[in-house]
Amino acid sequence: MSQEKLNLTPEQKEANKDYILANLDKYIIDNRRFFYHIEKDFYGEYGYIGPGAVNDYQEVKEKVIDRILKDKSRKQKKANKNNASAPQPNEQISPPQTPLPPTNSQTEKEQANQEHKKTKKQSEQQSQAQTNNSPTENPNPPKTENQSIPTNPEPPHQSPTPPNNNETSNPLPTPETIQNHYNQDKDKSLVENNSTDEEQKQANQELLNLIITAELLIKDNQFNPDTLSQLLKEKEQNTEAYQLLNKEGRIEQTINKLTNLQEKQNKNNDSVVNNNKSDISPIKIFTIIGIIGVIIMSSLVVFKKAKKRKRKGT
């Protein structure tokens, strides 16, 4: 559940801050600067917390990001350690050789050359082993742990409320595309000059970016459930930013268009399912039954002829 900063007391904001700091491993930060709980089935009051709903937002944000980077570093070291200890395929491990104690400078030089050649040979064997173990032999290599957490936390593409099975989440426009449209938007000056409160100004800008994202999806005839869900939450909570940007019904129109795209997509999915169900036509069924009947009749005729021949023979 998302928490709107305008409705919270300082004590509630402090409680939100304390909860996030006590559960740093459960939160990431999305493209609207909200703290987002990573468990899909978590719908409590701490599931989706806005930047204005916590005290000392910047401090909490830095600690969340620092935790993510530390987890990544720890898992990277663990993965590197596992990779280093695992034997490479086709690698020939030479038995350890104990060099004789040097008796003079010439012996030391020869031993150094031998060690250099040995190291070079092992490096070539490892390189050859890695080449033989290329992705063509294993098209689906297992994921390592260092791939599970990105260096920079990306915004989640999943809505806090799980979408319907028939819904398909299309990719969002790039941040550069959204920023370009924001700079040219007719409501840019409205959101930037309407309030002297920096937090409210930031909330206005984030909602305008969300509207632009939805309009770009509609233009490309694509649907994203998370975008629709966030707009519906703004409408339900009737935030100050929503009231500002919906004076001409812009947000309401965008929500209606996204809803129509959602219904159209669901109908198309239902149509595909129905077509798959009708693959076995009645004609095919009757044909199969007819073939089985012919086989049975032929077997009976052969059986009767064999029985008559047996009687004549006796």
If DSSP states are collapsed to H, E and C, what string results for 111-129? HHHHHHHHHHHHHHHHHHH
- The pLDDT assigned to 229 comes to 92
**Digit-coded pLDDT (tens) for 30-58:** 887 887 778 756 656 777 788 888 888 88
- Give the largest Cα separation in the chain, rounded: 116
Contact 254, 216 (CB under 8 A): no
**Digit-coded pLDDT (tens) for 90-106:** 555 555 555 555 555 55
Residue with tokens 């092992």: 122
Burial of 122 (0-12, 13-18, 19+ CB in 10 A): middle
Could you tell me what percent of the chain has a pLDDT over 90?
19
| In the chain, domain spans | 2-78, 175-274, 282-314
Mean pLDDT of the chain: 76
CA–CA distance, 182 with 205 (Å, rounded to integer): 9
**Digit-coded pLDDT (tens) for 122-148:** 777 776 766 555 444 454 555 544 444
CA–CA distance, 90 with 148 (Å, rounded to integer): 29
Indicate the pTM of the whole model: 0.36
Query: Is residue 14 scored above 70 in pLDDT?
Result: yes
CA–CA distance, 278 with 284 (Å, rounded to integer): 11
**Digit-coded pLDDT (tens) for 240-267:** 999 999 988 999 999 999 999 888 888 8
CA–CA distance, 256 with 240 (Å, rounded to integer): 21
* 130: helix, strand or coil: helix
Burial of 53 (0-12, 13-18, 19+ CB in 10 A): buried
Query: Is residue 270 scored above 80 in pLDDT?
Result: no
- The pLDDT assigned to 238 comes to 92
Instruction: State the Rg of the chain over Cα.
Output: 34
- The pLDDT assigned to 278 comes to 55
List 35's β-bridge partners, or say none: 29, 49
More confident residue, 280 or 278: 280
Give the mean model confidence (pLDDT) for residues 206-214: 93
